Structures are given as C-alpha cells and as structure tokens.
C-alpha cells in the first residue's frame, strides 16, 4: 500500500515548457481579440460620427454622405469591424482621417521617443527600487530603513504629472540646467541633445514608479529574510549577505517579476501622460491629437499598439517566472 507522501509526490506531474507556451500563446491571441473588440465597440459608443473630422460646420447632406462613405461609417458595425480586422491581419493600421498618412508609419516615427522614454524610466526605477527596497528591508530596525519605507508610501500617492511640473520648475525654470519640454528636430541624430530632452521625463516617471516598486521589493526581501531556508543557510556558517545572494535572490525574484511586468506596462501608460506634460511628440501627443480631431484611425492605432505591448509584457513575465522557479513547471494531476 503506497505511503501518503509518496502518493502525493506521484500526483505531481511535469508541465513541459512547449505545452505551456502553446496554451499561453493561445490565451494571448484570445486576449488580443477580446481587446480589439472592446476598443472598437467603445470608440463607436462615443458621441459623434468619425466623418465629422472631415466636415466643416456648414457641410451639406451630400458632403456628409461622401465623408461617411470615405471613412466607412455608413456601413453596418459588423462590416466595419470585419474591414478593420482584415487590415490588422495584413499589419495595416489604416490611414489617418486628417493627414491621410498611414497610421503605422506615424506610430513608428513616434515610437522612437516613447520606447526609449519607457525603457530608460523603467531601468532607472528598477535600479532605485532594488536599492531602496532591499535597504528598507535589511535595515528595517534603523531610522533610515524606516525613512525609506515612508518615502515609498508617500511616493505612491503623488501624481506623476505633479512630479513633472515640480521638476520643470526646479531644473528648467529656476536652475536652467535642462529643457522644460520638446524634442530636437534632428531626433536621435544628436544623441546628447535627445537624452537631455528625455532626462526630466525619465526622472519624473522613475520617481513615481520606484516608490511603488520598492514596496514590493521590500516585502519580498522581508519574506526571504524570515524564511526557513535562509536560517538554515546561516546556521551552516553563511553570512547574511552570502545566504541572501545564494538562496534568497531566486525565491524573492519570483513575485517581483510579476510586478515588474505590470510596472513596465504602467511605464508605457505613464509615458503617454508625461509626454503631454513635456510636449514630447510621442504616442501620447498622437493619441491626444487623435481624440481632439476625432481621428478614429489614429486613436485605434495607438490603442492597438499599446494593448499589444501590455499583453506581450505579461506573456514575457509569465515565461520568465517559470524559468526562474522550477516549482511553476509542475502541476497537480487532475488540476491542470
């Protein structure tokens, strides 16, 4: 008769990575389809017709009909969605109602600002949060550990645009060290000037994000410090730093990786807001202009790209978690 603990161990089976990738990819595709439907429906629920972007106030009925036929708003909603979905399958985001330019080309031109801003801010926030979070946990009995913990609590409540305004007032208006906004016309052909333009926006996002992320790092570090395996390692003669590096990093990283995926997605969304504060010609200004001009093609394009970015980041975070923690690569028989 099998022993209970052996039966329990036998009930746990391996969950191969290829099988998980297939299931996770199918879920990613389904999530994207649902997101596209939601984006399409919500935009059509807004008041007004997309054709209004092409019309003047005194437009005649004939001009209105021609404009509706041009943008396709005279077709049934199901047919409009089918046409749009067919374009997306061909990697075609359509043409702007106002400028007539391909939306994909416009987004690509603006991504050279939004993506560096997002990645630089995320990298700086990650570095700061690791230092602040680990220090606040390890030195929780010291005054500066408590102060760092209080900083993270306060930073979460501060709006990102308010931080941007304060930084502009200090470093641009008072000290004159950095530009208050805008981006060089030569783009990245002058890297030094481009980086100077992104410095304040990057710091703005990093301050708010590091305050939030450091709380999770502190919590994960405290869990590791109080774990049995770390006490066992220390009883074997290892110092706290050595035990933490050798045995605690992987275990503490698993919950943080999930949060990092969410925070990276949040960084992109925060960059859209910050771009408006610093008048950067990125995806944020494109989205804002599209909303103001009722340019559905531009709005849909930016939302699709942003949604795809968020979904892909979540997908990557799940894969990294399984690679870091072998326990996630097993499942209980009958509960897969």
Tokens representing residue 100 in the block: 């007539």
Give the number of other CB atoms < 10 A from CB of residue 23.
Answer: 12
Collect contacts of 98-102 with beta carbons under 8 A, ≥24 apart. 98/53, 98/54, 98/293, 98/295, 98/298
| Structure confidence at residue 187 (pLDDT) | 75
User: Going residue by residue through the chain (336 aa), what tens digit of pLDDT does each one get?
Assistant: 444 444 444 445 556 777 878 888 899 899 999 998 998 888 877 776 677 766 666 677 777 778 777 777 777 788 888 888 888 888 888 888 777 788 888 888 888 888 899 889 888 988 888 888 878 777 767 776 677 777 776 666 677 778 888 888 888 888 888 888 888 877 788 888 888 888 999 998 888 888 878 877 777 777 766 665 556 655 655 555 655 655 556 666 666 777 777 778 777 777 777 888 888 888 888 888 888 777 888 888 888 988 888 888 888 888 877 777 666 656 544 444
Its pTM stands at 0.77
Kind and range of the H or E element at 194? helix 191-225
Taken in order of first residue, the domains within the chain and their CATH numbers are: 20-92 (no CATH), 104-329 (1.10.3720.10)
Q: Using alpha carbons only, give the angle 96, 309, 185 rounded to the nearest 5 degrees.
A: 55
For residue 40, what are the CA distances in angstroms to 77, 88, 126, 159, 296? 9, 12, 35, 30, 10
Residue 30: the pLDDT is 92
pLDDT of 34:
92
């Amino acid at each position: 008769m099998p022993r209970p603990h052996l039966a329990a161990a036998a009930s746990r089976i391996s969950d191969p990575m290829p099988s998980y990738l297939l299931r996770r990819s199918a879920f990613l595709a389904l999530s994207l389809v649902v997101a596209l439907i939601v984006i399409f429906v919500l935009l059509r629920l807004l008041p007004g017709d997309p054709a209004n972007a092409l019309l003047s106030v005194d437009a005649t009925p004939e001009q209105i009909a021609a404009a509706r036929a041009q943008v396709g708003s005279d077709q049934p909603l199901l047919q409009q969605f089918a046409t749009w979905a067919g374009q997306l399958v061909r990697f075609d985001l359509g043409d702007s109602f106002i400028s007539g330019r391909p939306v994909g080309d416009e987004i690509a031109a603006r991504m050279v600002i939004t993506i560096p801003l997002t990645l630089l801010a995320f990298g700086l926030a990650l570095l700061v949060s690791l230092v602040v979070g680990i220090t606040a946990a390890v030195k929780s009995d010291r005054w500066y550990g408590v102060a760092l913990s209080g900083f993270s609590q306060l930073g979460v409540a501060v709006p990102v645009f308010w931080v941007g305004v304060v930084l502009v007032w200090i470093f641009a208006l008072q000290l004159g060290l950095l530009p208050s906004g805008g981006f060089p016309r030569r783009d990245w052909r002058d890297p030094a000037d481009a980086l100077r333009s992104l410095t304040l926006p990057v710091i703005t996002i990093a301050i708010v994000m590091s305050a939030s992320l450091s709380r999770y790092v502190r919590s994960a570090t405290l869990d590791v410090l109080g774990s049995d395996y770390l006490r066992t390692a220390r009883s074997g003669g290892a110092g706290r730093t050595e035990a933490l590096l050798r045995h605690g990093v992987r275990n503490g990283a698993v919950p943080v990786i999930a949060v990092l995926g969410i925070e990276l997605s949040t960084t992109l969304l925060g960059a859209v807001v910050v771009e408006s504060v610093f008048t950067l010609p990125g995806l944020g200004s494109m989205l804002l202009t599209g909303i103001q001009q009722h340019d559905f093609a531009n709005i849909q394009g930016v939302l699709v790209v942003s949604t795809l970015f968020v979904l892909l980041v979540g997908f990557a975070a799940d894969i990294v978690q399984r690679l870091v923690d072998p326990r996630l690569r097993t499942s209980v028989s009958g509960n897969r």
